[in-house]
């Protein structure tokens, strides 16, 4: 993150002589590489044992999937490629999604009407399930097609990302002066409010231009994991909201931390209150 605010000739000199923050970064990258390589070697040993024992049940995680694929020349991917895949999912996939959900639940705490609308939407979608009709509310595991129908939840996650993007630093060279933060000319007078409705047209989610909504970058640098990240965040958010009311601990300090991604400096401390079945039934009856 300091590279964004340090003149290039300074940090490049520090990197060349292995000094200060560049020395620390180099050490940190080596530690991450060692961790990823250890994961890869451990997984290879596990797969080898499975083959030797003729075990029919195979792992289905992403790393194992990539290990089973081949490159354009028909060769298995190199350990370096697999290491980069691990690093990409750790940094780009795990941290960014968890950070986005932290800010999302913090915003829900301050906007209970949004939480109610999300819960109402979820209940409307699952109301036709046989197990729900029988009163088995807690056993629901959302299906991909159900997650896709959650337009208001999609809008709420998008507005949270617009207010608190997981990757807030996006280095571009502007040809004209730009104000920081949301621009009223794009988002309206209420641009600083958490308002999922701004993303909806006749109740359906409508994408904004990637150059207005920069949380996933745009053009040739558009995040490859955008759709997967949305599915992941919506699945987690829906699963939690359907079962619990999330309440932030009183007087817990919520401030961003200076980093490449937008961490909460002190994390997000919450209390979870399991929803009463009568509350779920109320929304099911509404739909």
pTM: 0.79
- In this model, does residue 212 exceed pLDDT 60? yes
Final residue belonging to a domain, choices 28, 60, 93: 93
- The model's pLDDT over 113-160, given as tens digits with 9 standing for 90+, comes to 999 999 999 999 998 888 888 877 778 899 999 999 999 999 999 999
Q: Are residues 140 and 269 in the same domain?
A: yes
51 is known to lie in a ligand binding site: no
- Pair 63, 147 in one domain: no
* Domain ranges, residue 145: 95-283
Within this chain, do residues 64 and 140 fall inside the same structural domain, yes or no?
no
**pLDDT tens readout for residues 34-43:** 988 998 999 8
Q: Which residues contact 150 (CB under 8 A, 6 or more apart)?
A: 118, 121, 122, 125, 234, 238
Residue finishing a domain among 68, 93, 118: 93
Q: If you average pLDDT over each of 131-135, 257-261, 277-281, which comes out highest?
A: 277-281
Residue 171 and residue 52 share a domain: no
Q: Are residues 59 and 73 in the same domain?
A: yes
Distance (Å, whole) CA 45 – CA 66: 15
Pair 213, 100 in one domain: yes
Total number of domains constituting the chain: 2
183 and 50 in a common domain = no
Q: CA angle 163-164-170, nearest 5°?
A: 105
Q: Are residues 237 and 258 in the same domain?
A: yes
**Chain centre to alpha carbon of residue 108:** 16
> Are residues 76 and 99 both part of a single domain?
no
């Amino acid at each position: 993150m300091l590279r964004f605010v340090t003149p290039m000739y300074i940090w490049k000199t520090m990197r060349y002589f292995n000094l200060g923050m560049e020395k620390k970064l180099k050490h940190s990258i080596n530690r991450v590489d060692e961790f990823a390589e250890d994961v890869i070697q451990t997984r290879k040993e596990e797969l080898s044992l499975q083959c030797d024992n003729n075990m029919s049940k195979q792992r289905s995680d992403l790393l194992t999937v990539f290990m089973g694929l081949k490159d354009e020349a028909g060769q298995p991917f190199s350990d370096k490629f697999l290491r980069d895949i691990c690093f990409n999912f750790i940094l780009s996939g795990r941290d960014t999604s968890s950070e986005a959900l932290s800010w999302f639940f913090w915003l829900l705490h301050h906007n209970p009407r949004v939480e109610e609308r999300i819960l109402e939407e979820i209940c409307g979608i699952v109301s036709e399930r046989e197990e729900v009709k029988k009163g088995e509310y807690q056993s629901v595991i959302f299906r991909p097609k159900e997650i896709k129908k959650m337009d208001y939840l999609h809008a709420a996650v998008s507005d949270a990302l617009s207010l608190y993007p997981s990757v807030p630093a996006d280095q571009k060279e502007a040809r004209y002066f730009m104000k920081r933060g949301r621009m009223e000319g794009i988002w309206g007078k209420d641009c600083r409010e958490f308002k999922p409705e701004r993303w909806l047209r006749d109740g359906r989610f409508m994408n904004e231009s990637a150059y207005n909504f920069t949380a996933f970058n745009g053009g040739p640098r558009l995040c490859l994991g955008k759709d997967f990240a949305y599915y992941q965040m919506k699945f987690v958010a829906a699963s939690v909201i359907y079962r619990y009311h999330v309440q932030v601990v009183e007087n817990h300090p919520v401030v961003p931390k200076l980093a490449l991604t937008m961490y909460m400096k002190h994390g997000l401390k919450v209390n979870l209150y399991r929803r009463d079945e009568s509350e779920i039934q109320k929304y099911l009856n509404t739909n």
